Amino acid sequence: MLEKFLILGDHLRPYVILNAAMTLDGKIATKTYDSKISGEEDLIRVHKLRKECDGIMVGINTVIIDDPRLTVHKINSKPSDNPVRVIADSRARTPLNARVLNNEAPTVIAVSEKAKNEKVEKLKKRAKVLVLGKERVDLVALMEKLKDMGINKLMLEGGSTLNFSMLSKGLVDEVRVCVAPMIVGGKDAKTLVDGPGFEKMDEAIKLKLKKYYTLGKDLILEYKVIY
Ligand SMILES: NC(=O)c1ccc[n+]([C@@H]2O[C@H](COP(=O)([O-])OP(=O)(O)OC[C@H]3O[C@@H](n4cnc5c(N)ncnc54)[C@H](OP(=O)(O)O)[C@@H]3O)[C@@H](O)[C@H]2O)c1
């Protein structure tokens, strides 16, 4: 069932934009985790959007698989343009040499009570660690904390598992997708939104198309989420 954000009104959490690049068949990575999908023009769009946002969030699998920097570096920028990096990492699995822990931007690691103290203490030397939730990170509580920290606009950069959790909790305001003219297939390849999914179409997250345009070979679609 869709959990609507009855507890958090718009003003108590950041405005969240889910952004991703996918193939025409909805894959955000191949079955072997290759995720180079966007063209150069789209990467510039993504970095402009990062610059507009106060925070940028990903799930721990994306950190482990892609080791992203999550900074603004494809366009002219200064260190203060970098958004705060936020990682949803219940068990504190973030590798200590992950690039999200470099000194290019501040980082928040949200863990749950499942995280081992010893690793949490190590992460605390490199990032702000928030303990939220018993099993998995409590995303509603995380949004509230981020808002308190001054993060008003948050970019959600995947992956598919975190995308589902954020959407199903009613925490996403916009979805922006770059559709690349490629088909990669593979039932085990990650799609834009995975997670447990809904059983019935009438439970689906409803969207309203706001804008569409081409960027090089890619098609950009921008939707508002209707709750
Ligand atoms: N093309 C694109 O635009 C794009 C963008 C980003 C990522 N990707 C691709 O996406 C793939 C990774 O996606 P993924 O679905 O495997 O992983 P993910 O969404 O990056 O991370 C999922 C993990 O986040 C942790 N998490 C903590 N709290 C959570 C919560 N409340 N709800 C959900 N997850 C929570 C969970 O691990 P714990 O239980 O251990 O905490 C969960 O398994 C990679 O191949 C990457 O390349 C593509």
Give the CATH number of the domain where residue 166 resides.
3.40.430.10
pLDDT at 11: 57
Q: Whose CA is nearest to atom 7 of ligand 1?
A: 159
Distance CA 27, CA 8 (A): 31
How many residues does the structure list for the chain? 227
**Domain range holding 62?**
12-226
Atom of ligand 1 nearest to the CA of 158: 6
Residue at 7 is within a domain? no
What's the half-sphere exposure (Cβ side, CA atoms, 13 Å) at 169? 20
Atom of ligand 1 nearest to the CA of 166: 32
Contact in structure between 130 and 94 (CB atoms under 8 Å)? no
**Residue 132 in contact with ligand 1 by CB distance below 6 A:** no
Nearest to 89 by CA among 70, 69, 110, 68: 110
Residue at 34 is within a domain? yes
- What proportion of the chain, given as a percentage, has pLDDT over 70? 95
Number of domains in the chain: 1
Distance CA 68, CA 130 (A): 21
Average pLDDT of the chain to the nearest whole number: 95
Residue at 4 is within a domain? no
Residue at 3 is within a domain? no
Pocket test residue of 93, 162, 176 for ligand 1, highest count of atoms within 8 A of CB: 162
State yes or no: pLDDT of 47 exceeds 60: yes
Residue at 66 is within a domain? yes
Distance CA 203, CA 173 (A): 17
